[in-house]
Every structure is written in C-alpha cells, then in structure tokens.
Amino acid sequence: MPEGKIIKALSGFYYVLGQEGIVQCRGRGVFRKNKVTPLVGDDVVFQAENDTEGYILEVKERKNELVRPPIANVDQAILVFSAVEPDFSTSLLDRFLVLVEYNHIEPLIVISKMDLIDDEEKAQIDKYASEYRHAGYNVILTSSETAAGLEELHPYLEGKISVFSGQSGVGKSSLLNAIQPELDLKTNDISSHLGRGKHTTRHVELIKVRTGLLADTPGFSSLEFTDIEAAELNFCFPEIERKSEECKFRGCLHMAEPKCAVKQAVEQGEIPEYRYIHYKDFLQEIKDRKPRY
C-alpha cells in the first residue's frame, strides 16, 4: 500500500502527498470508531481508488501534535513577532516558547518589521535578541520590506516541517511572500482600531517552501497551559532548567525555597528578570487551573 503525508485537511477530505502526487482521500470509518482524527502532517498509509481519489487506511505514530493549530510531526516552530505594530511582547513570546518547548519542537524566533523602528527602539530589540540568544534560542531580525534577515532565514526552511506562528498582524504572510513571492498569500493591514490583525488564513495547509514544508497558521487567540504540570514548567525555560541543577533542593520550583540558584541568577543579572517574572506568572496560572476529571 502506498504511503504519504497529509498536507491539507478541508471539509472532511485529506489531501495526501504521495510519490505519484496529491491524492484526495477520505478517512475510513474505523478512525471515527477509534476516535483518531487524521491531522495535517500525519504520515499515512492510503489506498488509491484512482489517480486522484482514495482512502486513508492507517495513521502512523506521531512524534508530536499541536491542538491549535491542529498539526502533527512538526520539526520546528518559527515564531514571528513584530518589533512594532503590534509592539514586541516578551510575555506573549514566552507563552509561545513554553508551549513549543513542552511539545519538543525546536523554536526559531523571528522579529519582523525592523524597518519601522527608530534607533532607540532598535537598541531595545537588539537587547532582547541578545538575551534570548543567551538563553539558548536562535533569533533572526527581519523586514519583508527591505529583505533584511531573509537570507539568514533560508537555511532553517530546508528539509523541515515548520509551523509559522505568532500574534495576528505581525506580518507572517508578508514575510512568507518575501521569501517565496509565487506563494502570493493574502495579507491584511493591521487594524488600528482593534490593535490586532484580521485573520487571513482559513485552514491549516502545508506548503512547499524551498526544500521544506511549512504551515502558515492562523494567529492564536488563546494559549493556555492545559496539559503542563507545575513541575514540568522548569524544563520549558532552558536557562532556568540549566541553573536549577545548582539549587539546593531537588524539585525546587524557584519560588520560596531557600538556596535557590535560579533566584540568585536573577538577582545577579544572569537571567533576565522578565523571564523569571513570566515563569512565576505561568506557574501560578498552572496551579490555579481547575482540575480535570
């Protein structure tokens, strides 16, 4: 039986990219019975009825999956945040990073609209970029207008399945169009009244960009820590995880515990204070979460 990858899901149909091209498939009833929903990014076994139509028979084991956007087997998340319009938000970026880290997906931080900022704003963005790099993240500063940073971005797109994610209105589609003009993705100007962009992406679809596949995903409206436990949050902040090995108590949550190496690192400026504040805020959010039964 042929195998392929789901590159689009729309109205109950799954578009599978196999060796012979794209086949429009339906899922067998057994999936519904077993409560398996095929996702974009799934590797599947399918049966072709003819050159263009068929049925999905089996969904292969996933290495990861995201709920929003619904996609599986992601290699990296390209997190696009604008320098301005909307303003760069470390809190929102850290929320994205935690969810990406928790799902064992490699993050890449891309800061867009660098052409729209003055020297003072640029100095602040450069400082943030330096701090995130020090934490262990790759950061690229870009502009779809001037093409700055695009060459630096290209190697990250080769041979990987990536999700292009970020707050609405940060210029994800503009950036993709600058990387690969023939995509001609729809873009909307940011709504100054609402302070956020209008949704222009309607469904999840993997598109070929350079030698990789990339999902241009809708902006997120909520990013909740529904599955992360308090003891796991530590592992979603790389610099906090590294420093926690020096804490006196194993399982230290870096809150009120004595001889906490993380709190000491924050006081000494080794870990940016805003990263620690976000860690504490997220930890409280997880602790306040209603239990699920």
**Does 223 map to a domain?**
no
Q: Enter the pTM of the model.
A: 0.87
Mean pLDDT check: name the lowest of 131-135, 179-183, 192-196, 214-218: 192-196
In a domain, 162, yes or no: yes
Q: What's the mean pLDDT when you consider all of the chain?
A: 87
Instruction: Decide: 125 and 117 in contact? Cβ < 8 Å.
Output: yes
Going by pLDDT thresholds of 50, 70 and 90, the confidence category of residue 202 is: low
Quick one: pLDDT at residue 182? Answer: 79
Closest CA to 41 of 63, 11, 19: 63
Q: How confident is the model at residue 186 (pLDDT cuts 50, 70, 90)?
A: low
Q: Give CA–CA dist 226/290, Å, rounded.
A: 10
Angstrom distance (rounded) from CA 52 to CA 22: 7
**Residue 15 β-bridge partners:** 8, 24
Task: Give the residue with greater pLDDT, 238 vs 35.
Answer: 238
Q: pLDDT > 90: what percent of the chain?
A: 65
Same domain as 86, residue 141: yes
Residues 90 and 184 in one domain: yes
Tell me: do 77 and 179 sit in the same domain: yes
Examine residue 224 and state whether it is found in any structural domain, yes or no. Answer: no
74 and 193 co-located in one domain = yes
Tell me the average pLDDT across 103-131. Answer: 96
210 and 106 within one domain: yes
Compute the average pLDDT of residues 213-229. Answer: 73
Instruction: Supply the DSSP symbol for 242.
Output: H
What is the domain range of residue 174?
Answer: 66-216
Q: Which residue has the tokens 């970029």?
A: 129
Structure tokens at 134: 């020090």
Question: Looking at the structure, do residues 78 and 192 belong to the same domain, yes or no?
Answer: yes
Q: Where does the pLDDT of residue 200 fall: very low under 50, low under 70, confident under 90, or very high at 90 and above?
A: very low
Q: Which of 219-228, 231-240, 269-278 has the lowest mean pLDDT?
A: 219-228
pLDDT given for residue 194 in this prediction? 28
Is 132 within a domain?
yes
What pLDDT score does 264 carry?
97
Residue 175 has pLDDT above 50, yes or no: yes
Distance CA 199, CA 231 (A): 35
Residue 253 shares a structural domain with residue 162: no
Asked whether the predicted pLDDT for residue 20 surpasses 50, the reply is yes
Domain count, the chain: 3
